[in-house]
């Protein structure tokens, strides 16, 4: 049995003053777009509809001073999408926040886990 599957997970969701939110789902979508080169394929890889993936990309693109994802229209071979430089920076900064939170919270999470499962 994979013990890691039963370990507690810490997830970080940032709530900005203007109502914008950035959490693991949107960050994972950005990562999947970077990997697949496609908004549709990224959404499919996450079990998300094409419409939902596009909605989240449009939402993300509106959160910052410039778009995070640049998409080109499809043709016979379909469209493509890339993370802009800003998109790469936002994703890297979010991953840094996640890592710092996991490191800082590690002892407390382990203690809580041990108290739950003596």
- DSSP H or E run through 71: strand 69-72
pLDDT number for residue 89: 98
Is the pLDDT assigned to residue 1 strictly greater than 60? no
pTM exceeding the 0.75 threshold for the entire prediction: yes
pLDDT number for residue 66: 96
pLDDT number for residue 59: 96
Q: Count each helix (H run) and each strand (E run) in the chain, helices first.
A: 4, 4
- What is the DSSP code (8-state) at residue 15? E
Q: What average pLDDT does the segment 18-36 reach?
A: 97
Which residues neighbour 43 within 8 Å (Cβ) at sequence distance 6 or greater?
29, 32, 49, 50, 52, 53, 54
CA dist., res. 100 & res. 84, Å (int):
24
Q: What average pLDDT does the segment 74-96 reach?
A: 90
Q: What average pLDDT does the segment 12-20 reach?
A: 95
- DSSP H or E run through 116: helix 85-116
CA dist., res. 11 & res. 94, Å (int):
11
Q: What average pLDDT does the segment 94-114 reach?
A: 95
- What would the two tokens of residue 10 be? 């810490």
CB 43 within 8 A of CB 50: yes
pLDDT number for residue 35: 97
């Amino acid at each position: 049995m994979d013990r890691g599957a039963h370990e507690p997970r810490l997830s970080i969701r940032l709530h900005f003053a203007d109502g914008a939110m950035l959490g693991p789902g949107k960050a994972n979508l950005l990562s999947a777009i970077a990997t697949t080169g496609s908004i549709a394929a990224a959404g499919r890889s996450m079990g998300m509809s094409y419409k939902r993936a596009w909605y989240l990309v449009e939402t993300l693109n509106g959160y910052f001073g410039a778009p995070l994802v640049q998409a080109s229209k499809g043709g016979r071979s379909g469209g493509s999408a890339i993370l802009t430089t800003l998109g790469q920076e936002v994703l890297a900064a979010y991953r840094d926040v996640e890592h710092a939170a996991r490191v800082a919270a590690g002892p407390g999470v382990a203690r809580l886990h041990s108290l739950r499962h003596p």
